[in-house]
């Protein structure tokens, strides 16, 4: 009963010499594809180094170089694999013309139904070309901050404070705030009751600011000395005395603001200056942008 099946397989398969020749040619195709991929990867690595060097080794330049390198490596791998598969099918004797024609028809049909995908890919190209954000940046989308974990031509992967992972199509990222570029500035507002001496409260805050600016541990973490702006508002039962810190993106500015809040609260308490009981000293984001 097995003999007819063996005869059928023997007729379907080419002769042993031809089969060996096909195997050798396919093996050469695979090796050639692997070498092409490695060479292109080497070129991409060189490109990354050039971009980092051009950006003077700064973190944004490094993040952008690694992001572009990741996308280019994926693109190269896809193109090389598809090319190797088509070449192997040609070695096996397949007529690729009808296959390519069919693929073209399917591509046109998919194109009409994949307008959203095309929109996402185009948006991804603009994000990369304009360097709007890179992997590792903290961005704000729809009022919620999250870290960029992965960036592709189609979508961006974000992880928020709670550790939740969000996959956002690039076409949906119409308005994004990047918190990781240049510098960050925070305002520390100290409420003081209006029946207290504001001149004395300002003098206490000034001494705190001067002491913090003289502290070597904070000097190296801040871009500018802590500034005392003065009385920011005077409404109802309290006045707001504002101080400002400016630092590189990251934990430096929030840490400095927390330390300043602690020192001001302690100093005002020791001086017997009463604040508004209904409110605490607040940290308010002022602005963030690219340093001149």
- Six token digits for residue 156: 């961006």
The set of long-range contacts for 9-14, using a CB threshold of 8 Å and a minimum separation of 24, is none
pLDDT bucket at 260, cuts 50 / 70 / 90: very high
Do 267 and 209 form a contact (C-beta atoms < 8 A)? no
Mean pLDDT for all residues in the chain = 82
**pLDDT at residue 52, rounded to an integer:** 80
Residues near 30 by Cβ (< 8 Å), separated by ≥ 6? 84, 88
Instruction: Write the CA distances from 270 to 203, 204, 207, 274, 289, integer angstroms.
Output: 13, 10, 13, 10, 37
Write out the chain in H/E/C secondary structure.
CHHHHHHHHHHHCCCHHHHHHHHHHHHHHHHHHHHHHHHHHHHHHHHHHHHHHHCCCCHHHHHHHHHHHHHHHHHHHHHHHHHHHHHHHHHCCCCHHHHHHHHHHHHHHHHHHCHHHHHHHHHHHHHHHCCCCCCCCEEEECCEEEEEEEECCCEEEEEECCCCEEEEEHHHCCCEEECCCCEEEEEEEEEEECCCCHHHHHHHHHHHHHHHHCCHHHHCCCCCCCEEEEEEEEECCEEEEEEEEEECCCCHHHHHHHHHHHHHHHHHHHCCCCCCCCCCCEEEEEEEECCC
- Sign of the Cα torsion 97, 98, 103, 105 reads positive
Percentage, residues of the chain above pLDDT 90: 39
238 or 56, greater pLDDT? 238
**pLDDT of 54 strictly over 80:** no
Residues near 74 by Cβ (< 8 Å), separated by ≥ 6? 152
**pLDDT of 113 strictly over 70:** no
Q: Burial level of 132, CB count in 10 A (0-12/13-18/19+)?
A: middle
Average pLDDT (118-137) is 85
**pLDDT at residue 163, rounded to an integer:** 92
**pLDDT of 196 strictly over 60:** yes
pLDDT bucket at 203, cuts 50 / 70 / 90: very high
**pLDDT of 155 strictly over 70:** yes
Cα of 170 vs its chain's centroid, Å:
12
Q: What is the CA radius of gyration of the chain?
A: 31
55 or 113, greater pLDDT? 55
Average pLDDT (23-52) is 89
Rounded-to-integer distance, Cα 68 and Cα 76, Å:
12
**pLDDT at residue 102, rounded to an integer:** 58
- Six token digits for residue 149: 């974990």
Q: Domains along the chain?
A: 2-102 (no CATH), 125-178 (2.30.30.60), 183-289 (3.30.70.100)
Taking the whole predicted model, whether its pTM rises above 0.85 is answered as: no
**pLDDT at residue 280, rounded to an integer:** 47
**pLDDT of 274 strictly over 80:** yes
Closest CA to 225 of 238, 240, 206: 206
């Amino acid at each position: 009963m097995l003999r007819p099946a063996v005869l059928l397989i023997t007729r379907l398969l080419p002769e042993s010499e031809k089969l060996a020749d096909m195997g050798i040619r396919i093996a050469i195709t695979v090796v050639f594809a692997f070498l092409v991929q490695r060479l292109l990867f080497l070129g991409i690595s060189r490109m990354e180094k050039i971009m980092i060097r051009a950006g003077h080794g700064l973190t944004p330049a490094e993040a952008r170089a690694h992001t572009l390198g990741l996308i280019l490596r994926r693109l190269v791998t896809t193109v090389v694999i598809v090319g190797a598969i088509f070449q192997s099918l040609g070695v096996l004797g397949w007529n690729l013309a009808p296959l390519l024609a069919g693929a073209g028809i399917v591509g046109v049909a998919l194109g009409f139904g994949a307008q959203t995908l095309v929109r996402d890919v185009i948006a991804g190209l603009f994000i990369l070309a304009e360097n709007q954000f890179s992997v590792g940046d903290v961005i704000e989308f729809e009022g919620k901050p999250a870290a960029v974990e992965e960036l592709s031509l189609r979508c961006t992967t974000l992880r928020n404070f709670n550790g939740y992972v969000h996959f956002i199509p690039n076409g949906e990222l119409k308005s994004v705030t990047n918190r990781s570029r240049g510098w960050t500035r925070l305002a520390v507002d100290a409420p003081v009751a209006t029946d207290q001496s504001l001149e004395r409260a300002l003098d206490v805050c000034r001494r705190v600011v001067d002491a913090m600016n003289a502290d070597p541990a904070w000097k190296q973490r801040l871009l500018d000395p802590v500034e005392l702006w003065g009385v920011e508002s005077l409404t109802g039962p309290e006045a707001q005395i504002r101080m400002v810190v400016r630092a590189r993106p990251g934990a430096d500015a929030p840490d400095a603001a927390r330390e300043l809040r602690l020192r001001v609260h302690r100093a005002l308490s020791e001086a017997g200056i009463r604040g508004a009981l209904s409110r605490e000293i607040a940290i308010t984001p002022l602005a963030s942008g690219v340093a001149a």
